Every structure is written in C-alpha cells, then in structure tokens.
C-alpha cells in the first residue's frame, strides 16, 4: 500500500470521526435543558380542572379551552409533547407539589400566598371579577357582601376577594352548581371571573340573576400564570420564553379572543 493511499485513508477516517462526533454533540444539545425537571422526559404534564369553561372543559369527548390550547402552544414552543390531566380543583395545585404535574393551568392567580410555596410563570392573562346574585338582591356592590353567604371555591382568588369584604364563605368550585345554589337560595351570591359568566350566558338562560363587573379599584383583575414547582427553574425559564414568543406572534391574543371574547393578555 502506497504512502499516499495511507495518508488519504487516515485523512478520510479523521473527517468521518469529526462528522460522527459533531452529530452526537448536536443531538445531545437538542434535548431540552429542563428535561430532568419534568415528571416524564420530553413531555409537559399539565394539570387543569377540566370543567371550567371557557378555560378547560370537555367537548365531544376531548379537552379544549383557552388553557388547554395555551398549554399545547407552550409545549410546542419548548420542544416537547403535552399531556393534559383533568383534575378536581381541590387537588389541582397540590398535584404540582406531589409531582403529578409539571404545571397547573386553570385561570390560576399568582397570589402572594401561593408564591410562598410555588413558582409562577410570567403573567399571560388579566382576569376581571364579577359579582353575581339573585335578581332583586340587596347586594349591589362588592362592599355589600359583608356578612353575606358568598359561594366560591376554597383557596381561589374569588374566595379571597369575597372574604376581603367580609363575606361568609360557602365552599363550592363548580360554576354551574354555584349558580344553581344561588337560584335555590342556598347562597346569597358568588364572585367569579367575568369570562366564566360570559361563556355561561352563551348556552344558558340567565333570568333570575343579576351580574355586575367589580371595578378594578375594588378588585384589580387577577394576574394569571402557570403554577409550577420552585424546583423547576429551568422549566420556568423555558416557559417564560415561550410566553414571550406567543405574545409576540399573536397566538396569546388569538386564543384570548377565541375563548374569552376579547384580548385579556395585556394589562389595562
């Protein structure tokens, strides 16, 4: 074998080795940096209530709603699959702490109390409140709920607003059931998201109810974020980057308009 041929073979082998090494390095770099923080690698496991229109609910046997589509869009941006897990409100947030979910999304307000235990993504929605009572009620404003029986989900910001003004809390997290309770005299009213009421009106009669949006000066719109573990800083960083991209490309505004009736993605 000639020296020239030997040198050629050595050079070729070196090039192939470089290409192979480069290929391995590129593949490793393509893996999400937050993979070790996920419940299941390469999958964003998302907890949501599943019966809270227009945020997350079943339609024709499939999960849909603003939060569902938002989670799917985030997962696509950060390069992983998504798994939506319907869960009752009472165990939704705790599910993140128990590592059943990577994040929880359900029109969840990033309150100071929650921030003591959990991390939140940057705000992606600003959700105004509404006060709903039986028609003819003496409750006209949020200040009038003092001493009244107001229905709201335990641990929700709706309950926080009602109790701030002296209401007695009757715990119930299902919106439709809450309205039935008011109609049947089992509660004096409820505080909830304006968007939940607007969606309810689309397919249900509202005769017998009075609903008034609570002014921002009395209850500032809730700042909504994705709730996650404080032990997931890399995931939080990736999700915040995705939210920024979804805001810039118009996806957030599109989803808000589609499901919530208007653009609630910007602070007024």
Average confidence (pLDDT) over 163-187: 95
List the single range of 34-38, 109-113, 168-172 with lowest mean pLDDT: 109-113
Q: Find all residues with CB under 8 Å of 68, minimum gap 6, and list them.
A: 48, 56, 84
Higher pLDDT, 73 or 3: 73
pLDDT, tens digit, 9 for 90 and up, residues 123-144: 999 999 999 999 999 999 999 9
pLDDT, tens digit, 9 for 90 and up, residues 11-39: 444 444 443 433 433 333 457 889 999 99
Q: Do β-strands 43-48 and 103-104 pair in parallel, antiparallel, or remain unpaired?
A: parallel
Average confidence (pLDDT) over 78-82: 97
pLDDT surpasses 70 at 99: yes
The answer, yes or no, to whether the previous bond of 54 is cis (omega within 30 of 0) is yes
Domains of the chain, first to last: 35-126+224-260 (3.40.190.10), 129-220 (3.40.190.10)
Q: Report the SS3 class of residue 134.
A: strand
pLDDT, tens digit, 9 for 90 and up, residues 246-260: 999 999 999 999 999
pLDDT, tens digit, 9 for 90 and up, residues 28-75: 345 788 999 999 999 999 999 988 999 999 999 999 999 999 999 999
pLDDT, tens digit, 9 for 90 and up, residues 192-248: 999 999 999 999 999 999 999 999 999 999 999 999 999 999 999 999 999 999 999
Q: Find all residues with CB under 8 Å of 70, minimum gap 6, and list them.
A: 105, 124, 246, 252, 255
d(CA 101, CA 115): 17
Average confidence (pLDDT) over 94-108: 96
d(CA 163, CA 54): 25
For the chain, the distance separating the N- and C-terminal CA atoms, rounded to the nearest angstrom, is 79
Residue-level pLDDT at 267: 87
Residue-level pLDDT at 47: 98
pLDDT above 70: percentage of residues in the chain? 88
């Amino acid at each position: 074998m000639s020296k020239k041929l030997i040198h050629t073979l050595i050079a070729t082998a070196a090039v192939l080795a470089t290409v192979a090494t480069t290929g391995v390095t590129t593949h490793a770099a393509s893996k999400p940096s937050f993979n070790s923080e996920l419940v299941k690698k390469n999958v964003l496991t998302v907890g949501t209530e599943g019966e809270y229109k227009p945020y997350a609910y079943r339609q024709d046997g499939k999960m849909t709603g603003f939060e569902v589509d938002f989670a799917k869009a985030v997962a696509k941006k950060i390069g992983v699959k998504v798994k939506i897990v319907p869960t009752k409100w009472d165990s939704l947030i705790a599910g993140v702490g128990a590592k059943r979910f990577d994040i929880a999304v359900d029109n969840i307000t990033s309150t100071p109390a929650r921030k003591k235990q959990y991390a939140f993504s940057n705000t992606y929605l600003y959700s105004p409140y509404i006060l709903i009572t039986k028609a003819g009620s003496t409750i006209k404003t949020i200040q009038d709920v003092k001493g009244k029986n107001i229905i709201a989900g335990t641990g929700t910001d709706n309950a926080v607003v009602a109790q701030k003004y002296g209401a007695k809390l009757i715990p119930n997290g299902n919106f439709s059931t809450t309205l039935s309770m008011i109609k049947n005299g089992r509660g004096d009213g409820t505080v909830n998201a304006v968007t939940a009421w607007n969606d309810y009106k689309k397919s249900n009669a509202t005769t017998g109810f009075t609903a008034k949006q609570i002014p921002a000066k009395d209850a500032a719109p809730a700042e909504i974020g994705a709730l996650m573990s404080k032990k997931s800083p890399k995931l939080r960083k990736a999700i915040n980057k995705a939210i920024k991209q979804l805001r810039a490309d118009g996806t957030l505004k599109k989803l808000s308009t589609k499901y919530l009736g208007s653009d609630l993605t910007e602070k007024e």
